[in-house]
Structure 1
């Protein structure tokens, strides 16, 4: 798989040496609390090894060291859409824009290389950092599943968000126009 190269990061293939980095976050409730129910239960070494078979690693451009991962799920080739999943694996890499850059690189890949029309995901209402990141990347809120998630004694909404190819391309043209000024 060819690498997808950004300004500060690279989307690359999984490697065996990524597993120790994945093991650092996969059972960390501070990281996994915003992820799917797959991470509600502890993950063994075998679970982690099986998990690295698909998707992209988000890596530092200069060193190719692991930052997190970005995956496409439920790709529907007939109707041209997919679901996005992302995790930044360490607290010290949060808030640095790595997730935003990775999502933008993946959007370009999804809409230009895979020729899909829609990218979607769900975000938990309490995960405000992720929600703001998705909005900054052009996603639009499309609906709420009220009190669908139960975590630590409370119910939370699950927010459905998505971006269409036409919305991505309009934002891309606006960015290119402002850079040419």
Structure 2
């Protein structure tokens, strides 16, 4: 059955739901945090078929032309259905409408393969990996980045610049796509060993 995915502004009244989503999904086991820790450029609630099911945010970071992405889906029954990917697409579109940035980055545990697959599907690539230590032990983290200056395909079959929102004909697609895909495949191979965005996407 087709699901409608939309975003709405996160408000203080959503804080209790956020805590419940984090608890229900045991988010502390795979996320360092569940809300922005810096200035939020965008902070939204993910709505599926009219029901609030999680949150997504994009916040400032040390690089002035970059921002950091965070996503929390609070209903495990809805995971793996493309909802996170749709929410990220909506958030990036809203970000492009309000801010001019070169890239968005994120950190994800290397063992969270479902999330890694989602981010790769959204055009992120692995740019670094490091080990983080917490009270429960050490774990490997993948740093991923999405270049917002690389045009993406719109639902109408035209090439769109994520930063400007401008469209170009498909014929204008450059010849570098193949090499980009090869690079992504190489990077993803296992190692040795308050805004109010109302656009709706059906999935």
TM-score (norm 1): 0.71
CA distance in 2, matches of 1:100, 1:25: 18
Q: Which residue of 1 aligns with 2:6?
A: 10
Alignment gaps of 5+ in structure 1: 1-6, 40-47
> Could you report, residue by residue, the CA deviation over 1:63-87 in whole angstroms, capped at 9, with x for unpaired residues?
2x211101112256x8321001110
Number of paired residues? 156
State which of 23, 41, 51 in structure 2 corresponds to 1:27. Answer: 23
- The answer to whether the 8 A contact 1:142-1:161 is kept is yes
Aligned residue for 2:53, secondary structure, equals strand
1:68 maps onto 2:64 in alignment = no
Using the TM superposition, give the Cα deviation of residue 92 of structure 1 relative to its aligned residue in structure 2, in angstroms. Answer: 1.4
Alignment gaps of 5+ in structure 2: 160-168, 171-203
Using the TM superposition, give the Cα deviation of residue 29 of structure 1 relative to its aligned residue in structure 2, in angstroms. Answer: 5.9
> Could you report, residue by residue, the CA deviation over 1:47-101 in whole angstroms, capped at 9, with x for unpaired residues?
x9xx9x96111112x42x211101112256x832100111001211211211100
- The answer to whether the 8 A contact 1:118-1:165 is kept is yes
Q: Output the aligned Cα RMSD.
A: 3.3
Aligned residue for 1:79, secondary structure, equals coil
TM-score (norm 2): 0.64
**Structure ranking higher in helix proportion:** 1
CA distance in 2, matches of 1:92, 1:24: 15
> Which structure carries more relative contact order (alpha carbon 8 Å, separation 6+)?
2
